[in-house]
Structure 1
Amino acid sequence: MIAKLTGRLDSNGAGHAVIDVGGVGYLVEASARTLDALGAVGGEVTIHTEMLVGEDFLRLLGFARAEERDWFRLLTSVQGVGAKVALAILSALEVADLQRALASGDSAMIARANGVGPKLAQRITHELKDKAGALGGISGSGPALSAAAGPVGDAIAALTGLGFKPGEASAAVAAANEELGADASLDALVRVALKKAAK
């Protein structure tokens, strides 16, 4: 799993940037706020990343701060919130504003984001209100965001990125890991876990 990139900002466009790390260009999707924070093309940048893995794709998402990545993970734990919607929310709202909106139950503020209708905004607010209020400034070490390390953790992240709830993803990956053994690769874990989750 790629957790962070440090290199030269090679180019940027609508919703993405290319980071040159030792001559290899990484295409990273990001929120508008993260893209603004990267600065001018040619400059040295560090970006925190989240890798989404599917049966037929690999996507690398980038965040200016680890805190923003943690909020992305929390948002995508809600059914109906995929990577695109989560990035839209993080583009529309600062992390502090998002936290306040969730803590106060202000679904209208969440609905400002592109692609977020009133019903989805209400679901997000309902499911995350208690977490936002209890956790305050969320960090990667918080219990709500803890995950297994290695391929198992990456496989769980991949399934949650595909829209499965964390509990469903964990159960499916655990079953896949038990079937395949401790030496199973990430690709194999994701493939088998998807089959088990679909049953």
Structure 2
Amino acid sequence: MIGKLTGRLLEKTPPTVLVDVHGVGYEVDVPMSTFYALPPLGETVSLRTHFVVREDAQLLYGFATEAERAAFRQLLKISGVGARIALAVLSGLSVDELALAIVQQEAAQLVRVPGIGKKTAERLLLELKGKIGAPAGGLPAGLDGAPGTAANDADQSDVLNALVALGYSEREAVAVVKKLPPGASVEDGIRAALRLLARG
């Protein structure tokens, strides 16, 4: 199993890159999210990888982050989803955007990805629920169809829970929720919070 490659970036031809590791050139297919983050040719690149061995081919897929690779592997577990569709999903959506779509069961995000229709998008969201960007125990109340709190701060509480489900620490989530404008909907609050967190 090849789990990671670190070497000199020789070629970039979307979606494939060529990485020279001690004189051996590895052809690696990457999602566009990783492709856009690559350094200039000739510089050192490090990729997390997923290695597939078939009767007719040996294929190597690369990712800039462990979160991308984990999402790719979860997508591959779904019946009817191959590497091509999985790469397309991660090329059209960041891991955070995919996790948010799963938390909210929002098929519209996935339908925009080439090759994915409404029925496929709905099946992906259903099968990925609780597996990407959410704790193993399930999704927070109020975001999975279960009744949420009726208190006035219910929306902020749901935003906080969603951020924790997306992998942020409770401390980070509390800090960013305090910066949100009052009266924002859960969806708008989550999007605004993710933008603030992305800025660091």
Pick the TM interval, shorter chain: 0.5 to 0.7
Structure 2 portions without partners, runs of 5+: 137-164, 168-200
Moved segments of 4+, more than 3 Å: 135-138
**Counterpart amino acid of 1:124?**
L
Comparing 114-123 with 125-134, greater Cα deviation is found at 125-134
Question: 1:100-157, CA deviations, whole angstroms, 9 ceiling, x for partnerless residues?
Answer: 001110011011111111111010011112333334357xxxxxxxxxxxxxxxxxxx
1:76 counterpart = 2:76: yes
Match of 1:134 in 2: 135
Secondary structure at 1:67's aligned position in 2? helix
Q: Conserved in 2, the CA contact under 8 Å of 1:38 and 1:45?
A: yes
Give, in whole Å, the separation in 1 of the partners of 2:130 and 2:95. Answer: 16
Structure with higher helix content: 1
Find out whether 1:16 has 2:16 as its counterpart. Answer: yes
Percent of aligned positions that are identical? 41
Which structure would you say has the larger RCO, counting Cα contacts within 8 Å and 6 or more residues apart?
Answer: 1
The alignment's TM-score, normalised by the length of structure 1, stands at 0.67
Matches within 5 A, 1:160-199: none
Q: How does 1:31-180 map to 2 (within 5 A)?
A: 31-132=31-132, 133-135=134-136, 136-137=165-166
Q: Deviations over 1:31-64 (max 9, x none)?
A: 0111111121111110010001111110000000
**2:74 touches 2:131 (CA, 8 Å); kept in 1?**
no
Q: How many residues align?
A: 138
Q: Looking at CA atoms only, which structure, 1 or 2, has the larger radius of gyration?
A: 2
Instruction: Decide whether the 8 Å contact of 1:9 with 1:19 is kept in 2.
Output: yes
Unaligned runs of 5+ residues in structure 1 are 139-199
CA distance in 1, matches of 2:128, 2:75: 8
Code of the residue aligned with 1:87 in structure 2: it is L
